Chain A
Amino acid sequence: MTTATAEKPSSAAAQPAAVSFPPQAKAAPTKGTVLLVGLDLGTNKSCILAGPPGSTDITVSKVVPSVVGYVKDGIVDGIITGNARILYGEDALRQMLHVELVAPLAEGVISHPESARDFMQHIRLLADPTGRTEIRAVVGVPANAGEQARENIRRSAQGIFSRILLIPEPFLAALGFRDDSRVKQSGYVDPVVNSLFIDIGGGTSDLCLVQGYFPTRDDQISIPFAGDAIDELLFDELNRTYPNNGLSRITVREIKEANAYVGPSRKPLDIKVVIGGKSRTLELGDSVGNACNTLIDRIYPALTTLIASASSDSVVTLLQNIIITGGGSQIRGIDTVLQKRLTDDGYENPKVRLAGQDFQRYVAIGALKAARAARENQWQVLLA
């Protein structure tokens, strides 16, 4: 298969080539027929924002579980609405008994190309139910994502989006977190100027120095340990502590999402669950704490490595601006535990804070901002 993209040459040297670009690319759609999409393609959840170019309007804003459900053979007519063969997101999860659930991504990158393509089709329909608008999408990728991972996204989007730009997620999170209306106000600490972002998702934890220029490879560390790995540790621990408990991975994830914490043990943490139809109370203080504290042990060395690589004249301000986003930011105590660890290790007055309630959307917000700012010659054209 040939490459899925035709990247236009960029910057000044590109001008003559832009004139002679293939006719279908030159024939720009009339105003109103292009829709820009910011897409955070996550291992567990994806966030899609869409809006027209040349405005700040957001016409679509959705968070969708990244899952595709293929309806099993032999399901009686009428069980599935419209007798659909493929379900997506919440619909697929609601019908999990009747579908084969497939997660298109693992550890932040596409692991099932066919289902990824189906999922992209679904995203396209969410953004543009008419199916007739040209879609240009900026898609977040894990920091340090390899070329194969990027190519897999392009191929999944081929024929679905017309143009695409792949940008590392933590940088998009910084763009999304930035309050553009306050950038020129005195006293506003612009996260794009000097900050360290920790984006903890389902598949990867991405750390990125953002210091007023596009982060280099050395400024980014991606760790294949995040929410899913915590689920797995907790699942194993529960099976050791309470053998034959029958709890599914989805239930274990729900337990984690409701009770995750880091730091000293918070025993007793009594959780009511239904096992074999009977209600039981499990004490999970240590199990949840041990699994979540492993995340701290994994990301802390990466955090200090990035701090160590910052210049001495920027590091003091940088330490004041460490921001945690993504689903992992919902783990209780994660900001205070990281801050205390830095303080205990002698770092100068560190401040670690949480991005806030929009933690699921910052990457997509940044992606939509990037889509609106991208020059024509920066988009990669996806060949249908």
Chain B
Amino acid sequence: MTVLAEALRRFEPPWIEVGRVFRRICFLRFEGLAGEAQSIEENEFAEATARALGASGSGPEAESILRTVLTEERERVSQAIAFAEVLVPLLAKRLAGLPGDAAALAEPAPRREKARAFDPDRGIADFIDDMLAQERTG
């Protein structure tokens, strides 16, 4: 099978379904829900894979498509989670601080205008004071 033919087959409905189910499994594993992930893997995923392999005539080519689909979906999920981990707290903070100001969401991450001057005479106890002050103000 040519590379193009293999690439096109990955977009056929049975393989799209395999990818969809596998994404769910990846998300569940990232969330630490290994039991639920395994259950889906043994049932829904196994059925979807069997359907897709059957539709593609099984054999090495079908196995190759399966490996490609799983690798791609794993990477997609990994990148999506990494992106969300950074983006969601930023969005939450901005939404909490600026209710209704949708324009703020389009702004880049806040950059400090100027570095705080470092005072070489400040010791560890002063840092601890800073920490305790932060804790008191929440």
Contact = CB atoms under 8 A, between A and B. Distances in A.
Interface residues of A, number: 44
A216 B132 contact: no
B129 A301 contact: no
A258 interface: no
A375 B95 CA distance: 38
B102 interface: no
B34 interface: yes
A-B CB proximity, top 6 nearest:
A214-B130, A212-B118, A373-B124, A314-B115, A311-B112, A311-B115
A305 B109 contact: yes
Contacts of A298: 78, 81-82, 85
Contacts of A216: 134
A200 to B, nearest CB: 15
B125 A374 contact: yes
Contacts of B79: 297
B115 A305 contact: no
Nearest to A303: B86
Interface string B104-124: 000011111111111100111
Given A305-B109, A308-B109, A314-B115, A378 B128 contact: yes
A326 to B, nearest CB: 18
A313 B129 contact: no
A369 B124 contact: yes
A24 to B, nearest CB: 22
Interface of A: 10-11, 165, 167-168, 171, 175, 193-194, 211-214, 216-218, 221, 223, 225, 229, 232-233, 236, 290, 294, 297-298, 300-302, 305, 308-314, 369-370, 373-375, 378
B109 A10 contact: no
Given A297-B78, A298-B85, A374-B128, 14 more contacts: A10-B132, A175-B124, A212-B117, A213-B116, A213-B127, A297-B75, A298-B82, A300-B82, A301-B83, A309-B110, A309-B112, A313-B114, A373-B128, A378-B125
A18 to B, nearest CB: 14
A223 B109 contact: no
Interface string B53-85: 000000000000000000000110011011101
Contacts of B116: 211-213
Nearest to A299: B82
A311 B111 CA distance: 6
A311 B116 CA distance: 9
Contacts, number: 99
A373 B110 contact: no
Given A311-B112, A311-B115, A373-B123, A302 B86 contact: yes
B82 A313 contact: no
B131 interface: yes
13 contacts: A171-B127, A211-B116, A211-B118, A212-B118, A213-B130, A236-B29, A301-B82, A310-B111, A311-B111, A311-B113, A369-B124, A370-B124, A374-B128
A193 B117 CA distance: 10
Contact of B85 (A214, A223, A370): A223
Given A223-B85, A236-B29, A373-B123, A167 B111 contact: no
Given A211-B116, A378-B125, A301 B111 contact: no
